[in-house]
Amino acid sequence: MKFSISNMDLFYGDFQALKNINIEIPANEITAFIGPSGCGKSTLIKSLNRMNDLTEGCKITGEIFLDGENIYGNIDVNALRKRVGMVFQKPNPFPMSVYDNIAFAPRTHGIKSKFKLNEIVEKSLRDAAIWEELKDRLKKSALSLSGGQQQRLCIARALSVQPDVLLMDEPTSALDPISTAKIEELVLKLKKDYTIVIVTHNMQQAVRISDNTGFFLLGELVEYGDTQQLFSVPANKRTEDYITGRFG
Amino acid sequence: MGKRALIAVTAFSAIVWIILFWIVPLPVIILTVIAWIVLLIFNKELGAKILFIASASAAVIAVGLICVFLFAQGIPAMLDIGVLNFLTGTDWRPTWNPPLYGILPMIAGSLYVTAGAILFGVPVGIFAAVFMAKFCPRRIHKVLKPAINLLAGIPSVVYGYFGMVVLVPFVRENFGGNGNSILTASMLLGMMILPTIITISEHAIRAVPPEIYDGAVALGASHESATFKAVLPAAKSGVTASVILGIGRAVGETMAVRMVAGNQAVMRMPHEFLSGTRTLTSNVVIELGYAYGDHRAALIATGVVLFAFILLINTMFMRIRGRK
């Protein structure tokens, strides 16, 4: 198991956003979180690399283990975020060149050699399947790319620090169907080397790419299991209502 | 549009303008009268529109009039002296026979003190802005923000007084010279442009979308490197704009500089930063009181050069703002 979460509660001030979450996320598989808006799925994914630390008034109880180590214990948060990369809902490239976007994190972590940086940039872009499109435009501003390219650039940027885990928070919700298809294809390819946790609004997307699915409702993990199983024979009535479109 | 508000706007603008400057309000007053006639007799919407146009055009008319008067008196003087002689002449001897009107020492003086102000003010200002936007606890921000606004509101003569009693002796005792120098003026100006740089830069840094910061942090960057390497570069255009606006303030500053710069109309080289200098602004303010004839015209021509500088700086500012 890559992540194992036990008895986790999360509060924003007085509001309890996650209630007694227990979940195991296996390595080198794609795990999808689905559920209606405000159900806590994004909140949970942000807890996995402690991005919730940035939210004021956020308090977490319970334990989250990454490879057997409690990430809310006495650890280096920056090192954790290096191991657990993240791709956001809206593509957020830095307003600098394509090259500098990818080189940003390696530089921040102390790599100065031009040769090494070139190597990392090429490898990251290749891994994100965007090298062929961008190899002649490395000096161009990242903001001049299309939305889909920007998102794949952000994936490449996340890969530049060689993480173990890739968290994706609705990575295709701002993209057109063709870009979405490209990203799904990429995610399936990346599963070989990375553990992927993806939050999605789109149930078809969860069916298409994920191995395991968790269904969240009002801060609770209603059902969690094998994707095919969950979508064909859901164990819980509320899961069935949601996936058949009765609400949400 | 309420009638009472219209009366208030009209009365206010009329009173302000009549007190300030009697030439400018003439067209404004004429427009306002027309506006009221239209308003009362024909059409309320149209009348209100004309009234607002009149108020808005007041500023444009003021700038236009300043240009007209300045150029009408300054340009002929410049041509009379010879543009090249005027701009590149190193001797300013208005009382000699024949008089010499070369303002290169003053152009250099303005450039020196402005460059010095950038040297002292820009790094401090940008770091202060970063601190206020990204590092400062809210409690400290509550004290710092009004303090910086206050710094912007202090009259320049008070800065000049502070320079005379504190900075001049400080420079005299620690660096030499008599204390009235390029260095002193630079330090004082560096202080005076701080609020401009801090306020606008802080605003620019805060306007950077939070996703940029989050993206950097999610890659394992510390708060410091996310701020300096991702957020600050993203705020580059706003920060540059703040520096240019600060430069504009430094070039145009008169009173404070005049009180600490020594004011000798002598050509200086950059390494003579402990000697006094005279800027374009102080040249005008020092001599205009007793100048007449050609001398007076040469001073107004100095104003034209200053105006050209400011125009250049403002154009740069707007270019950078527009680029975003």
B202 Cβ contact list (under 8 Å, min separation 6) = B129, B132, B133
- Residue B62: pLDDT above 90? no
Give the bridge partners for A224, in sequence order: A214
| Gap between the Cα atoms of B10 and A181, Å rounded | 63
Mean pLDDT, range B161-176, rounded to an integer: 94
CA dist A187 → A152, B1, B35 (Å): 10, 59, 67
Q: Residue A146 corresponds to which tokens in the numbers above?
A: 């299309």
pLDDT score of B197: 96
* A49 touches B: beta carbon within 8 Å: yes
Taking all residues of chain B, what is their mean pLDDT, rounded to a whole number? 89
Please judge whether A78 and B234 are an interchain contact, meaning their C-beta atoms are less than 8 angstroms apart.
no
- Strands A212-217 and A195-199 come out as unpaired
> DSSP string covering B156-188, please?
HHHHHHHIIIIIHHHHHHHH-S-S-SHHHHHHH
Percent of chain A with pLDDT over 70: 100
- Specify whether the backbone of A85 is left (phi greater than 0), alpha (psi in -120 to 50) or beta: beta
pLDDT score of A248: 61
> How many Cβ atoms are within 10 Å of B306's Cβ, its own excluded?
24
pLDDT score of B23: 59
Q: Please, what's the largest Cα pairwise distance for chain B?
A: 74
* pLDDT category of residue B51 using cuts at 50, 70 and 90: confident
- Please indicate whether residue A218 or residue B6 has the higher confidence score (pLDDT): A218
- Strands B100-101 and A84-87 come out as unpaired
B74 Cβ contact list (under 8 Å, min separation 6) = B297, B300, B301, B302, B303, B304
- A49 phi/psi in degrees, rounded to 5: -120, 20
| Gap between the Cα atoms of A157 and A106, Å rounded | 10
* B234 touches A: beta carbon within 8 Å: yes
B224 Cβ contact list (under 8 Å, min separation 6) = none
Candidate from A82, A88, A96 with C-beta closest to B220:
A82
A-interface mutation test, from B134, B219, B223, most A Cβ less than 10 A away: B219
Please judge whether A81 and B219 are an interchain contact, meaning their C-beta atoms are less than 8 angstroms apart.
yes
pLDDT score of B320: 82
- Residue A194: pLDDT above 90? yes
E strand spans, A13-169: 15-25, 30-34, 58-66, 69-70, 84-87, 165-169
Mean pLDDT, range A97-117, rounded to an integer: 94
- Please indicate whether residue B55 or residue B315 has the higher confidence score (pLDDT): B315
pLDDT score of B211: 93
Query: Cα distance from A236 to chain B (closest Cα, Å)?
Result: 35
Distance of CA A2 to the CA centre of its chain: 14
The tally of CA atoms less than 13 A away on the side-chain side of residue A69 is 10
pLDDT score of A140: 93
Q: Residue B158 corresponds to which tokens in the numbers above?
A: 């008070």
- Residue A167: pLDDT above 60? yes
Using the structure block, give the residue that is written with the tokens 């509060």.
A11
Using the structure block, give the residue that is written with the tokens 């309320």.
B44
Domains of chain A with bracketed CATH: 3-243 (3.40.50.300)
For residue B304, the one-letter residue type is V
ipTM: 0.91
Render pLDDT for B221-239 as a digit per residue (tens, 0 to 9).
999 999 999 999 999 999 9
pLDDT score of B8: 76
- Residue B324: pLDDT above 60? no
Query: Cα distance from B217 to chain A (closest Cα, Å)?
Result: 8
Render pLDDT for B114-164 as a digit per residue (tens, 0 to 9).
999 999 999 999 999 999 999 999 999 999 999 999 999 999 999 999 999
Helical (H) or strand (E) element with A204: helix A203-209
Instruction: Give the burial string for B207-244 (b: 16+ CB within 10 Å, else e).
Output: ebeebbbbbbbbbbbeeebbbbbbbbbbbbbbbbbbbb
Residues in chain A with CB shorter than 8 Å from the CB of B219 are: 81-82, 85, 104-105, 108, 157-158, 160-161
* A126 touches B: beta carbon within 8 Å: no
Query: Cα distance from B237 to chain A (closest Cα, Å)?
Result: 11
| Gap between the Cα atoms of A125 and A130, Å rounded | 5
pLDDT score of B18: 63
Alpha helices in B131-155 (DSSP H): 138-153
Please judge whether A104 and B229 are an interchain contact, meaning their C-beta atoms are less than 8 angstroms apart.
yes
Percent of chain B with pLDDT over 70: 94
* B204 touches A: beta carbon within 8 Å: no
- Please indicate whether residue B52 or residue A139 has the higher confidence score (pLDDT): A139
pLDDT score of A19: 92
Fold of B100-323: MetI-like fold (1.10.3720)
* A160 touches B: beta carbon within 8 Å: yes
Range scoring the smallest mean pLDDT among A23-27, A143-147, B61-65, B320-324: B320-324
- Residue B19: pLDDT above 70? no
Please judge whether A109 and B216 are an interchain contact, meaning their C-beta atoms are less than 8 angstroms apart.
no
pLDDT score of B60: 82
pLDDT score of B57: 79
Q: Where are the domains of chain B?
A: 3-81, 100-323
* pLDDT category of residue B20 using cuts at 50, 70 and 90: low
Query: Cα distance from A240 to chain B (closest Cα, Å)?
Result: 35
Whether A194 and A163 have beta carbons less than 8 Å apart is answered as: yes
pTM of the complete model: 0.83
- DSSP label at residue A141: B
- DSSP label at residue A138: T
The tally of CA atoms less than 13 A away on the side-chain side of residue A29 is 17
CA dist A230 → A23, A168, A206, A207, A221 (Å): 15, 21, 11, 9, 13
